[in-house]
Structure 1
Amino acid sequence: MNIDHIEAFMYVVHFNSFHKAAEAMFLSQPTVSARIKTLEGELDSELFERQGRGIILTEKGKAFIPFAEQIIRTFQQGKKQLKAGSDLEEITIGANIITSQYFIPFALPLWKKNNPGLRFKFISATNEELLDKLLRKQVDIAFMKEVTHSGLRNHKTLDNSIRLVVYPGHPFQVQTELSVQTLAMEPLVFFECGAFDWNQVHKIFEVSNVEPRIEFQVNHLEVAKSLIVSGSCIGFLPYLCIKKELEEGTLVEVDVSHLIKIKQHIYLTHINQGMEAPLLWNDILFSIQEFGQNRHPSPLQSNR
């Protein structure tokens, strides 16, 4: 009996759809159907019945569910045990680049302190890579941009809104109701790295028919931030990367909410488990609260 066939059965049970199960497993619908057909042959029992365009579980299908769950659970536990080589339970956490740099170094020690019997594995990757790893069950939970997928659940966690920041003493620090024309005259750094839709920033200049004075265009947050701190320019940056500098006063936020509002969050994403909360849920909520109230360590030096 193939574990892939049993997993396909549980996915179809969960989504009540061959099509949705195939989407969640990154397989074609015929492949999922073939796996179910093979499983039914091995069990010598029909597990699903067609009802119009939908499907329903047969009585034998319902009876097989607890055994399927036990087989999958035992297989996963055995796989983790062999991989870890110890009695420690392992959790694999993923995060996109910006969360990896500015939140994870703060949170991981807290999670480990509260869960000494848990082995932590951490992966830093792009949002697209994290989505793939979640669906392939190579990552248990991931901090990333919101995704729309029937097999995943998103929980809004960290505020990562885009803010206009300047160096201390800049005239904008005391100016109210800043105009687009005045903003366009200042030297700007644009950080382009897929963090959000930069067209929103470009749009405020296009609508007013003015050309922004973009002196620097970079793909590294720390470079962009350092240029602003040095007094070379001003710029729009995501909150997570400037939280420390705003607290210390080495950067100052300028209110431009009358011109543009770019709200964005980091989401905690995991396989849809119904109403069941993901592992570490309470610890994660606590670490986010602490992160908002405390200064945090310097970011990791690497950046993709």
Structure 2
Amino acid sequence: MSSRNMTVLIGMAFLVFLASNALYVINEKERGVLLRFGEVVNPDIQPGLHWKIPFVNNVRKFDGRVLTVDSQAERFFTQEKKALIVDSYAKFQVSDTAKFYTATNGEEARAAGLLAQRINDGLRNQVAVRTVQEVVSGERDQLMEDITLELNKVALSELGVRVVDVRVKKIDLPPDVSESVYRRMNAEREKEARELRSQGQELAEGIRAAADREVTVLTANAYKESEQIRGQGDAEATGIYARAFNQDPEFYSFTRSLKAYQESFTGQGDILLLKPDSEFFRYLKDPRGGK
């Protein structure tokens, strides 16, 4: 290889090296600042292809998306001086790239740590002016709105980030308080359960008494109706017997006598004392009954 060709290759390699160090790309998910010997000269580089002066300019890129900082659970005291363990997180986004670079040196972990400290300070102030009931349920949404608004002002002026939202994930009682609260809640629930059982028993007794009364009324009405039907049947049977008797009184008297004989002489060892001329033996003496 000739010296000329070698010079050309070295020149091309140098140009490629310069191009690789002079050109850079900022995509839509990134934010960047252009530095000149460590000084910010362009605090907001737009997405696209850009160039810089090698060895003079430097580019620092940051994530431009909404990021999450998860704070450690901390113990805070309410207005009644009661301790609560509050676990929270925040959503933030780089807004002022120059201030963000100056305050954090462009390190997201450092920014998250500083923001977590400010979140805990803000929560401590907000919880301190509220009661336990307000923190847990009554004004929980208002608390998160207030801390978001307050923290956004501080974070934007000090760190160059915009706080999108602050949320309380969980609120717990300290371990030394949880047991006493649990016992009190258990006693209250047992009291409520006893009251509900008492009300249920009272209601059951009322239902049972109403059912017994209804059974008694239905039984009485059924007995009354059955007696009326039985009386009607007996009356109808008596009428039939009377009409049959009137058709042939002598035959009816004869059948009654036979039935009386049958019932009288059915038993064994029975003694029947009657006069010989008793009417009981009328059909035994004379089949016509003495006519």
TM band (smaller chain): under 0.3
TM-score, normalization: structure 1? 0.20
Structure with bigger gyration radius: 2
TM-score, normalization: structure 2? 0.21
Which of the pair has the greater relative contact order for Cα pairs under 8 Å at 6+ separation? 1
The structure whose residues are more often helix, as a share, is 2
